[in-house]
């Protein structure tokens, strides 16, 4: 019985990861038409991740506002700036600011 249960958990985690990816894609497409529907898709993706104990990938998590839960798309509802050694992403809906460090690439002679 234990083998069967662990096999089902592994399958359910992979399905959950695929669904999270798919919901983020749909949310990005729906943002221009209906922002409420886009926010609903993001909340569903987060709930699926919590239920199956699957983390949202880092590249998708960067496009998510922790405060209001909206999908951040540069130019539509977020502002992206580079300052010193940080990428600064500002949500234009709630004003939340996120900072991510990056390494400056030195010029090769």
pTM for the whole structure: 0.78
Give the model confidence (pLDDT) of 44-103 as tens digits.
999 999 999 999 999 999 889 989 888 999 988 899 999 888 999 999 999 999 999 987
Q: Report yes or no on 108 lying in a domain.
A: no
The domain total for the chain is 1
What is residue 29's three-state secondary structure? helix
pLDDT tops 80 at residue 42: yes
Q: CA triplet 7, 13, 15: central angle to 5 degrees?
A: 105
Tokens of 40: 């609903």
Q: What is the CATH number of the domain that holds 45?
A: 1.20.5.420
Q: Report yes or no on 106 lying in a domain.
A: no
Q: Report yes or no on 64 lying in a domain.
A: yes
* Domain ranges, residue 13: 2-101
Q: Report yes or no on 51 lying in a domain.
A: yes
Distance (Å, whole) CA 109 – CA 102: 22
pLDDT tops 90 at residue 31: no
């Amino acid at each position: 019985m234990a083998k069967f249960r662990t096999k089902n958990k592994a399958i359910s985690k992979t399905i959950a990861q695929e669904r999270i990816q798919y919901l983020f894609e749909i949310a990005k497409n729906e943002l221009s038409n209906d922002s409420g529907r886009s926010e609903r898709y993001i909340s569903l993706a987060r709930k699926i991740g919590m239920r199956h104990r699957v983390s949202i990938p880092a590249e998708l998590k960067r496009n998510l506002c922790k405060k209001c839960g909206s999908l951040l798309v540069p130019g539509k509802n977020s502002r992206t700036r580079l300052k010193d050694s940080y990428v600064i992403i500002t949500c234009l809906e709630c004003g939340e600011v996120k900072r991510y460090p990056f390494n400056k690439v030195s010029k090769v002679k």
